[in-house]
Amino acid sequence: MRYLASPAQLRASLLRWSLFTVPLVLALGFLSGRSAGSGPDNPWFAALTKPGLYPPPATFGIVWTVLYVLMGVALAMVLSARGARGRGLAVAAFVVQLALNLAWSPVFFGLHRIALALGIIGALALALAVTIALFWRVRPLAAGLLLPYLAWVCFASLLNWQLLTLNPHADGAAPAGATVRVQLGH
């Protein structure tokens, strides 16, 4: 015999999952950016020529905070859908896109690999589109919460491409203060 959860039980499950997933996604995003030295204070990034579409630097922190909260809630909605068909695959897709998201800052800001970061953000956009489709099958509202994130990733992809186009010399540039070892002889 199968028991259906009451609306109050479903809300409680969503709340419990949200109390775990929202802080987790926020913390992972924060740690990824912090460990990479991302932001306008990064000397390498500050020296880059910025495209005309580049928004004020404060925009990024605000937007990413909102997006990480939406991502955490969307994930909680899917996780709380116990027994839903496709739930496991949807969560796996979320983990893949989140890993790509978290890889972008260290590659772009830490390694100064603008072209590689463009490849990562392109893969992120594709993985996110798959995640949205899979979330839709489990909880359409959860998929809807990820749409602003997809829009921002597409915009960020355009910025990444423009930064590469405007600064081809900076792609792969050694970090400031990096030590280069030269060995002479055999």
CATH class of the domain comprising 8-38+55-170: mainly alpha
Closest among 72, 62, 59, 63 to 28, alpha carbons compared: 72
pLDDT tens per residue, the chain (186 residues)? 455 555 666 667 888 998 999 999 999 999 999 999 998 899 999 999 999 999 999 999 999 999 999 999 999 999 999 888 999 999 999 999 999 999 999 999 999 999 999 999 999 999 999 999 999 999 999 999 999 999 999 999 999 999 999 999 999 887 655 544 555 655
Instruction: Report the alpha-carbon distance of residue 151 to residue 68 in Å, rounded.
Output: 14
Domain locations in the chain as residue ranges: 8-38+55-170
Residue 184 region by backbone torsions, left for phi larger than 0, else alpha for psi between -120 and 50, else beta = beta
